[in-house]
């Protein structure tokens, strides 16, 4: 069985292009993997709390030595991290908010980026531990960051790419929808381009 984790993060609800296209991408993956089990976590509709002092100290304390408060603070993190660990494929829908990712997605990253579980260190440096997964990112942005000057302001996709690589998730495909706020016709054409990329998944 193929396990798919679908993460949504746009604050724009049903108007979100990234969430809409991520749903379509999951539908495509279901065609390719009829046995797929899909778990959806909508980080905007059901936001995670910010991490706390007990969380921070708990992550650096070996499990058997954690206080009851530290254990409690890590419960939710264990759950969302478990969802990521179990997934064979992760589909991430991300809006660009103030040149970066939505705060709700950053909160999720804070919960899953756990030393000794998501990554560790060896003599060579950091080592990701969540290997063997495929990541699809659908990134929507109001402006275009395709040219190098505008591209310097893109702290969304480069960050997503790096943070998942840091966890060992190096097999990534990015589908970018931009600019979504330059008029309806342009947005429609960009959506069709993204749809063509989604339709091509699994056909190579
Ligand atoms: C609060 C807020 C901040 C935004 N900041 C930016 C930004 O910095 N750069 C940009 O290109 N678009 C920005 N946008 C536009 C969104 O990136 C755009 O609407 C995109 O389509 C959002 O993804 P979605 O369609 O999946 O919701 C912002 C939108 C909102 C609501």
Q: Is the CB of 97 under 6 A from ligand 1?
A: yes
- Would you say 136 and 88 are in contact if contact means Cβ atoms under 8 Å apart? no
Choosing from 96, 100, 178 the residue with most ligand 1 atoms within 8 A of its CB, the one to mutate for a pocket test is 96
pLDDT on residue 107: 98
Nearest atom in ligand 1 to the alpha carbon of residue 143 is: 11
**pLDDT value of residue 162:** 98
- pLDDT tens track, the chain, 204 positions: 999 999 999 999 999 999 999 999 999 999 999 999 999 999 999 999 999 999 999 999 999 999 999 999 999 999 999 999 999 999 999 999 999 999 999 999 999 999 999 999 999 999 999 999 999 999 999 999 999 999 999 999 999 999 999 999 999 999 999 999 999 999 999 999 999 999 999 985
State which ligand 1 atom lies nearest to the alpha carbon of 100: 8
pLDDT at 203: 82
Structure confidence at residue 165 (pLDDT): 98
How far apart, in whole angstroms, are the C-alpha atoms of residue 110 and residue 22? 22
Whether residue 140 has its Cβ less than 6 Å from ligand 1: yes
d(CA 194, CA 176): 7
Per-domain residue ranges of the chain: 3-199
Q: How far, CA to CA in Å, does 86 sit from each of 8, 43, 120, 140, 152?
A: 18, 18, 19, 27, 35
Confirm or reject: Cβ of 143 under 6 Å from ligand 1: yes
Strands 37-42 and 89-95: unpaired
Q: What is the CATH code of the structural domain delimited by 3-199?
A: 3.40.50.360
**How do beta strands 89-95 and 134-140 pair?**
parallel
């Amino acid at each position: 069985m193929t396990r798919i984790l679908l993460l949504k993060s746009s604050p724009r609800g049903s108007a979100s292009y990234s969430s809409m296209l991520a749903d379509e991408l999951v539908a495509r993956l279901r065609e390719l993997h009829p046995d797929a089990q899909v778990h959806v976590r909508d980080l905007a509709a059901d936001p995670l709390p910010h991490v706390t002092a007990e969380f921070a100290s708990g992550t650096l304390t070996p499990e058997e030595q954690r206080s009851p408060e530290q254990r409690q603070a890590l419960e939710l993190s264990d759950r969302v991290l478990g969802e990521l660990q179990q997934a064979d494929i992760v589909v991430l829908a991300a809006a660009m908010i103030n040149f970066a990712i939505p705060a709700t997605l950053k909160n999720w990253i804070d919960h899953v980026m756990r030393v000794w579980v998501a990554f560790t260190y060896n003599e060579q440096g950091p080592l990701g531990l969540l290997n063997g997964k495929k990541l699809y990112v659908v990134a929507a942005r109001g402006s275009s960051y395709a040219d190098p000057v505008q591209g310097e302001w893109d702290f969304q996709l480069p960050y997503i790419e790096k943070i998942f690589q840091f966890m060992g998730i190096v097999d990534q495909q990015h589908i970018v929808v931009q600019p979504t706020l330059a008029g309806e016709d342009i947005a429609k054409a960009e959506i069709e381009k993204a749809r063509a990329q989604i339709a091509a998944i699994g056909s190579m």
